[in-house]
């Protein structure tokens, strides 16, 4: 038996799993996106009504813009926090045991449900919550801040809380592979701490940053429950559009929106992969 045949046989189980649980559902969603729907029924067809309605509505562009806004702000904040945490763990903590302990400490909140961690912010940020009461007691404000909860601020805060670890892990993994002699060589050459980070650490950490970016951006763009709870149903993103259509049993419309969202995410990932070759990291 030739090596090519053996290779195909070895890849067949994984290909079958990916085909059944990844490719087949996507194909079904694409097919359903061309179907028609009335108030009482769904009927198979091949028409572009769902896409025409989607792209012909000003709400669609507004919601997509809000989705990109959430993704961009969350990415910037998680990158800043993730890079800082990973840099501290990789280069300022000398003991391997301490590194592992601190890294596990970062993962403790992720041992609970995303929903529990998300809604835990509600009593903290509420009008009579801990944050407002503390600020009033300190004399910093005279009345509760209304924008702490059920606003873009609370949505982005929850996103950062939920997804920062997805930025920390790949960046930390990449930094741990950097030869420490390079940092010493930079210092010997007269580089300051910021120059070392900018010209040595950051370029060598690009694969981890890109992997973390892909994780964070795709998760934020596909999320809908966080926007619903943390905005008090006053904000919307593409995920909420899909969720609302499903709730109204408008599956073809939901499928069309899902296809557009999938293509948008794939284009974003394609653009990101143009900047760095992450195969070396994988």
* Average pLDDT value for residue range 169-175: 89
Contact call for residues 63 and 238 (beta carbons, < 8 A): yes
Identify the CA nearest to 230 among candidates 112, 132, 124: 124
Neighbouring CB atoms inside 10 A of 31's CB total 13
pLDDT tens for 27-74 read: 999 999 999 888 788 888 888 888 998 888 888 899 999 999 999 999
pLDDT tens for 120-153 read: 888 888 888 888 888 888 888 888 888 888 888 9
Domain range list for the chain: 56-273
Instruction: Specify the pTM.
Output: 0.87
CA gyration radius, the chain: 23
238-247 and 58-87 are packed helices; what angle lies between their axes, rounded to 10 degrees?
Answer: 130
In CATH, what is the architecture of 56-273?
Orthogonal Bundle (1.10)
């Amino acid at each position: 038996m030739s090596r090519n045949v053996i290779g195909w046989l070895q890849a067949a189980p994984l290909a079958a799993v990916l085909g059944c649980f990844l490719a087949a559902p996507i194909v079904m969603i694409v097919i359903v996106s061309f179907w028609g729907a009335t108030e009482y029924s769904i009927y198979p067809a091949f028409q572009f009504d769902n896409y025409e309605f989607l792209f012909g509505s000003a709400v669609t562009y507004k919601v997509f813009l809000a989705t990109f806004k959430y993704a961009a702000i969350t990415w910037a904040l998680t990158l800043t926090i993730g890079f800082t945490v990973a840099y501290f763990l990789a280069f300022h903590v000398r003991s391997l045991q301490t590194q592992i302990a601190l890294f596990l400490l970062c993962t403790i909140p992720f041992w609970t449900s995303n929903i529990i961690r998300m809604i835990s912010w509600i009593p903290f940020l509420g009008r009579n919550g801990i944050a407002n009461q503390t600020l009033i007691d300190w004399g910093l404000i005279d009345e509760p801040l209304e924008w702490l909860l059920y606003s873009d601020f609370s949505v982005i805060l929850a996103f950062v809380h939920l997804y920062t670890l997805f930025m920390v892990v790949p960046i930390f993994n990449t930094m741990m592979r950097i030869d420490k002699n390079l940092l010493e060589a930079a210092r010997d050459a007269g580089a300051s701490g910021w120059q070392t980070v900018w010209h040595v650490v950051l370029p060598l950490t690009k694969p981890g940053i890109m992997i973390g970016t892909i994780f964070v951006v795709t998760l934020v763009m596909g999320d809908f429950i966080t926007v619903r709870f943390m905005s008090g149903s006053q904000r919307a993103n593409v995920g909420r559009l899909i969720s609302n259509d499903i709730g109204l049993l408008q599956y073809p419309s939901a499928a069309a929106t899902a296809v557009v969202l999938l293509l948008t995410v794939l284009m974003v990932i394609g653009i990101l992969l143009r900047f760095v070759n992450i195969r070396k990291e994988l």
